[in-house]
Amino acid sequence: MPRSVRVTGWGAHAPETVLTNADLERIVETSDEWIASRTGIRERRIAGRDETTATLAATAGLRAIATAGLDPDEIDLIIVATLTPDYPMPATAILVKELIGNRRAAAFDVAAACSGFAYGYATADSFVRAGAARHALVVGAETLSRVTDFTDRNTCVLFGDGAGAVVLSASDAEGGGMAGLELTADPGGCELLWIPSGGSRRPVSPGTLARGEHTIRMDGRETYRYATRTLAASAEAAIARAGWTTADVDLVIPHQANIRIIDSVARSLGYPMERVFVNLDRYGNTSAASVGIALAEAVGTGRVQVGDRIVIVAFGAGYTSGAIALEWTADPAASARAAAIPPVRFAHPGDGGTDEDPVPAVLRPILAAAAAAAT
Ligand SMILES: CC(C)(COP(=O)(O)OP(=O)(O)OC[C@H]1O[C@@H](n2cnc3c(N)ncnc32)[C@H](O)[C@@H]1OP(=O)(O)O)[C@@H](O)C(=O)NCCC(=O)NCCS
């Protein structure tokens, strides 16, 4: 049995094409001023035709494996947290296994919406702690642009695409890694933040499609209320389980949903904003990917040092929440190794040869303009 389970690798990836608030002004009745002041979001990324949740996850995963100094085949467990899998079946983690060139790993998905990265991390940590895996890859990955209703200004300004990953490894050294965990699930939120159709209760049909029920539906105010209450409580519970006090924490990495939610959580915990990592202005809410992207950026930009005590904390549909208090042990300089990993593109596996464009029609001109500008 290992003495500890440590983060040895981290990586992130987001599609190149940027969807700005100005772009959204041309799609729905909104303004840059409204979006920036109510959410803090200025732009987000959108996946192109040859990008899916699996390709974004594979790129972030390969970057995490590179920072860990491992070969992809040394990974023996792959967990992908997502609410936008490539297919209802098989699990996106299986596609990621193929894309990264791994032949050995067990692979499955975790469905906990925006709390998915914390749920996935906790699951992988348990496998490694129990001796069932030596190196586990955890990826939070989303292509939310494919399930966003671009006629609904209440939701379409919030979400973006991307992926963030960590490698958790068994270690013979004492300490480090996850010290405290809190996971919650409150079914009271089931129909307040959801995608109504596409499952066994309401299969996709002409009727559900016409009503847009295959896209995200949200009660923004209720979700906001839940988030502000729960994020701080979950973080405090994980900190207490670690045997720390809030004063011991060097950096909080919250789910990047809304700057006003993050401000309120920081105030509840008594932290100045310098102790809270924020990048939602550039990515929007990437659901299960958000904390993973933020963690990789925090380490890559020098915000995390060996010995630092970090709290990652997320909330999402369910409602769910997840908080992990962890001690950082890896050399942040390894971040540089991720730069050598180029984006993985969709390889058209045996899916019947469909060449339907998965990108929502309203986004295609933006992707085309970005592609034209790049050549
Ligand atoms: C969505 C959210 C930003 C809305 O902010 P808010 O300050 O609560 O705004 P309200 O819902 O009170 O709406 C205020 C007005 O702005 C309007 N509005 C909503 N979206 C708008 C947009 N993109 N542009 C312009 N106006 C908008 C509303 O229609 C409403 O108008 P009305 O008063 O005429 O009806 C906020 O509720 C939120 O962040 N909720 C949590 C969402 C979240 O994090 N979801 C993911 C969870 S993982």
| Residues classed as catalytic | 114, 255, 285
Give the pTM. Answer: 0.97
Phi, psi of 193 (to 5 degrees): -150, 105
> What separation in Å is there between the alpha carbon of 154 and the centre of ligand 1?
5
Please indicate, yes or no, if residue 99 is contained in any of the structural domains: yes
Counting from 1 in the atom list of ligand 1, the atom nearest the Cα of 316 is 48
Instruction: Ligand 1 pocket test: pick from 20, 31, 38, 156 the residue with the most ligand atoms within 8 Å of its Cβ.
Output: 38
Q: How far, in Å, is the centroid of ligand 1 from the Cα of 159? A: 13
- CA-nearest residue for atom 1, ligand 1, is 220
Provide residues with CB under 6 Å of ligand 1.
30, 34-35, 38-39, 114, 153-154, 157-158, 193, 218, 220-221, 223-224, 227, 257-258, 285, 316
The rounded distance, in Å, linking the Cα atoms of 25 and 67 is 39
Instruction: Specify the ligand 1 atom closest to the Cα of 255.
Output: 48
**Beta 177-185 vs 320-327: how paired, if at all?**
antiparallel
Find the domain containing 99 and state its range.
4-329
Atom of ligand 1 nearest to the CA of 317: 48
What is residue 315's predicted lDDT score, i.e. its pLDDT? 98
| 257 within domain boundaries | yes
Question: Using CA atoms, how far apart are residues 212 and 192, in angstroms rounded to an integer?
Answer: 16
197 within some domain: yes
Note down pLDDT in tens along the chain; length 375 residues: 999 999 999 999 999 999 999 999 999 999 999 999 999 999 999 999 999 999 999 999 999 999 999 999 999 999 999 999 999 999 999 999 999 999 999 999 999 999 999 999 999 999 999 999 999 999 999 999 999 999 999 999 999 999 999 999 999 999 999 999 999 999 999 999 999 999 999 999 999 999 999 999 999 999 999 999 999 999 999 999 999 999 999 999 999 999 999 999 999 999 999 999 999 999 999 999 999 999 999 999 999 999 999 999 999 999 999 999 999 999 999 999 999 999 998 765 555 556 678 999 999 999 999 999 988
Give the chain's domain count: 1
Residue 359 included in any domain: no
Identify which of 309, 313, 158 has the alpha carbon closest to the alpha carbon of residue 230. 313
Structure tokens, 76: 């023996």
How far apart, in whole angstroms, are the C-alpha atoms of residue 318 and residue 193?
7
Q: Could you give the count of Cα atoms lying within 13 Å of 117 in the half-sphere of its Cβ?
A: 36
Give residues with Cβ within 8 angstroms of 106, minimum separation 6.
Answer: 76, 77, 78, 133
In SS3 terms, the chain reads as: CCCEEEEEEEEEECCCCEEEHHHHHCCCCCCHHHHHHHHCCCEEECCCCCCCHHHHHHHHHHHHHHHCCCCHHHCCEEEEECCCCCCCCCCHHHHHHHHHCCCCCEEEEECCHHHHHHHHHHHHHHHHHCCCCCEEEEEEEEEHHHHCCCCCHHHHCCECEEEEEEEEEEECCCCCEEEEEEEEECHHHCCCEECCCCCCCCCCCHHHHHCCCCCCEECHHHHHHHHHHHHHHHHHHHHHHCCCCHHHCCEEEECCCCHHHHHHHHHHHCCCHHHECCCHHHHCECHHHHHHHHHHHHHHCCCCCCCCEEEEEEEECCCEEEEEEEECCCCHHHHHHHHHCCCCCCCCCCCCCCCCCCCCHHHHHHHHHHHHHHC
Whether residue 338 lies inside any domain: the answer is: no
* Rounded Cα distance, 193 and 281, in Å: 22
What CATH number has the domain bearing residue 117?
A: 3.40.47.10
170 in Cβ contact with 161 (< 8 Å):
no
Q: What does the pLDDT read at residue 347? A: 61
What pLDDT, on a 0 to 100 scale, did the predictor assign at position 221? 96
